Amino acid sequence: MGSPLRVLHAVVNMNHGGAETLIMNLYRNINREKVQFDFLTCKAGLFDKEIEAMGGKIYRIPYLTEAGHFGYLQALNTFFTEHKTYKIIHSHMDKMSGFVIRAAKKAGIPVRIAHSHNTQSEGHLFIKMYKWYAGTFIRPNATHLYACSQAAAEWMFISEAKQTFILNNGIEIDKFKYSNIKGSLLRDAFNITEEAFVLGHVGRFHEQKNHKFIINLFYILNKEMENLHLVFVGDGPSRKEMERKVKELKLDKKIKFLGVRDDISDLLQMFDLFIFPSFFEGLPVTLVEAQASGLPCIISDSITEEVDMNLGLIHRLSISDKDLWIRKVKELKKEPPSREIVKEHLVTKGYDIKYTAADLQAKYLSVGGR
């Protein structure tokens, strides 16, 4: 048997974000004798060691914030000129993929995949305008368009949304199966009692995720409900600001910041309710994981309905009405759903990573001439 087809994935870094988690789920479940993943990144990431252990190469170029506009474009052009042997580039940088795909085309990389993982650009007006400009290079230079949801396809590819391949954010379903024992052990470790009602959130600390809303919601609930706790998992630019806010509200004994963790499947077992009031999202992997663990989720109605796995666990509410959220939390505390789920719902919806990885592998081998 010959060497595997090497696919180059372009990301800013391989940390525990939604897109990166999906890529790693695919990487672990793909046949690496047939397809091997390499990575073009700009910063060190938490998955780097695992990638190298699985045989992946990691290349690093300076990002826009360090190199500036022309320096970044030059770094991309130089990289692809020196690595012309790749047959497939798969870019996960949303609208910034335009620059990556254009440089790959110039160097003659035949298969150029742009993958949308979101429904809006992050950042203030100038940054959004800059990303819009970068995005104008996607459709003239991409050979294939991928997205995590129809909503993400419509945002990034507009008129070509219907021709976009939807690659589901698959997960290892069995890994998230509810375990009361795991939940109890973690509660002990974090000094949270069995009787406590625990709200949980997993996500990067960024304005998009609307952490202020969660803290303000908890502040009200904590006055009206006994033995309530809130656990944040993740890191990011707004974490320190949120920690300050929690201290100002004198809630630091009730709210825990756990940082980046590699045991999300276990942490979900100690939560009673998942809170996710994002301003915008593509299709969050973490919400698929939460449902796989039988966890009820209250989410903002700006998140696509495609995230609902038909398990009766998703409650979509407007973030403009905090009272609705308060009532729903109280209702779910009073009458919690069973944590046992019908796994087949996720399989039927196409969220079993084994099938997702097999589907993507077949596509890579087909377009890569294998």
Which pLDDT score, from 0 to 100, does residue 370 have?
66
Of the candidates 35, 34, 45, the one whose C-alpha atom is nearest the C-alpha of residue 10 is 45
Residue 159's pLDDT band (cuts 50, 70, 90): confident
pLDDT exceeds 60 at position 1: no
pLDDT-above-70 percentage for the chain: 99
Domains, the chain, ordered by start: 5-170+352-367 (3.40.50.2000), 173-348 (3.40.50.2000)
pLDDT exceeds 90 at position 314: yes
Convert the pLDDT of each residue in 279-303 to its tens digit. 999 899 999 999 999 999 999 999 9
Convert the pLDDT of each residue in 15-29 to its tens digit. 888 899 999 999 999
Mean pLDDT of the chain: 94
Structure token pair of residue 146: 């991928």
234 half-sphere exposure, CB direction, 13 A CA radius: 20
pLDDT exceeds 60 at position 256: yes
What mean pLDDT comes out for the span 121-131?
Answer: 88
Convert the pLDDT of each residue in 48-82 to its tens digit. 999 999 999 999 999 998 999 999 999 999 999 99
Prediction pTM value:
0.89
323 half-sphere exposure, CB direction, 13 A CA radius: 0
pLDDT-above-90 percentage for the chain: 86
